[in-house]
Each structure stands twice: as structure tokens, then as C-alpha cells.
Amino acid sequence: DYLIGMANAAKMKATVPVILHLDHGPHFVLVMKCIRSGFDSIMYDGSHHPLEQNIQETKRVVEACHAVGIDVEGELGRIAGAEDDLSVDEREAMLVIPEEARRLVDETGIDALAPAIGSAHGHYKGEPKLHFDRLNEIRDLVKIPLVLHGGTGIPDSDIQRAIALGVAKINVNTENQDVFTRTVREVLLTSPKMFDPRKYLGPARAAIKETIRAKIRLFGSHQRA
């Protein structure tokens, strides 16, 4: 209820469209609760299910969401945690299979697809390896916007290449959390007597705002809402 109140305030004040989006919705019931309470956009993540079940469950979510005019993002392949200890083979096995992506899109009617192409959530141990060949193949088979999860730590040049190959939405979380927490830590270390949250949350908010501003420019979204 508080989040929805905040989103509504932002919608009234902002000069660009504001969308309250559920990320990685794990099941139908939560999706329904979110729609009922005022979310504008849904991701249903059925990627932990075998393909047929992912198709079935995603389709059920799409039918319910489309009935009330809400778009749905689906996921295929597995987007792991960057810190998970997986071998190269294990990571490769999680990549999306293009023909399966085509089936998920055609058989469910999703509006956007997050295909696993090598990115992961959290901090990468080394340089992440995005599989652009897969992205290309999917782009040819699937005509809806593609979504890149695990945006933190992907080099800027790879981000831009992914956008050029059809990625239309990029999820970044860890990097924002990092800069926020680092700023709180710095402020508290330099001012150990500080106790008023309003005093240390302000600089942290400004820092996260700067990070997001830079992403908007990197993604080419500036002045394009």
C-alpha cells in the first residue's frame, strides 16, 4: 500500500510516464494481488519450470493481465546469481534456446521477453560474457521487445551492442544498491556522531539519482519517454 501510494505521487508529479512494474513475479496469486492493488505492468517468471509448464503458467497470467489492459514480460532460460558457483558448462546450459523462445512468445502472447543470454543478477566475479549470437537468433525469431536482466557490471560497450541488437529494457539493481549503501557508509564514517536518518539518506538518494541519470544517458533514453 505504501509503495503504491509513492508510485501514485510520482505519477502526479513526474513529467514522464511512471510505471509500477512487478519484477520476477513468482506465481499467479501474487500477480493477481499486484494487479488488484494498482500495478501497471507485470513480469511473470516461470523460467524455473520446464518449458511446457512455463508456457502454461505464463499463458494463464497473460490472459488475466490482458483482460485488464496490463502487459506481461516472460522469462526463458535461467538467469542465475552472478555469485553462484557454476561451471562454464552449467552456465551455458542455462542459456535460452531460440526455438523455445519463439514458442513461449507465440503460445502465450507475452508483450516482452527476458531471454537468458549470459547475464546474471548481482556482482560478476570476472567479466560477464553475453552471448550476442543467441541474442541475434532470438531477435530474428521473436518480434517483441527483449529485456536484459542483470545489468550491473556489464561493460558499457556490451550494453550498447545489446541495445543495437534489439534489447529495449535493461534491469539494473545491484549497482544502485551499491552506490546508495556506499554513500551511507562514507557519510557515517566521516560523521560518526550523526544519528538523524534524514541527514545520511539525503546524500545516498542524490548518489543513486546520479547513477540512474548516467544509465538513462548510456541507454540512449534521454528525452525519449
* Interface residue list for ligand 13P (CB under 6 A): 23-24, 121-122, 149-152, 171-175
**Contact predicate 142/76, CB 8 Å:** no
3-state secondary structure of 128: coil
Q: 58 or 152: whose CB is closer to ligand 13P?
A: 152
Q: 121 or 131: whose CB is closer to ligand 13P?
A: 121
Residues known to be catalytic? 23
Smallest distance from ligand 13P to CB 134, Å: 17
Q: 78 or 187: whose CB is closer to ligand 13P?
A: 78
Instruction: Copy the grid coordinates of residue 6.
Output: 509513492
Contacts of 84 (CB under 8 A, 6+ apart): 120
Q: State the amino acid at position 221 in one-letter form.
A: S
Smallest distance from ligand 13P to CB 154, Å: 9
**Nearest partner of 201 among 188, 214, 215, judged by Cα:** 188
Please spell the DSSP secondary structure of 132-198, one letter per residue: HHHHHHHHHH--S-EEE---TT--HHHHHHHHHTTEEEE---HHHHHHHHHHHHHHHHH-TT---HH
Smallest distance from ligand 13P to CB 100, Å: 20
Smallest distance from ligand 13P to CB 60, Å: 22
3-state secondary structure of 216: helix
**Contact predicate 81/92, CB 8 Å:** no
**Contact predicate 40/10, CB 8 Å:** no
Q: 104 or 148: whose CB is closer to ligand 13P?
A: 148
Q: 15 or 157: whose CB is closer to ligand 13P?
A: 157
Smallest distance from ligand 13P to CB 175, Å: 6
For the CA atoms of 112, 216, 203, 198, the dihedral, rounded to the nearest 10 degrees, stands at -40
3-state secondary structure of 101: helix
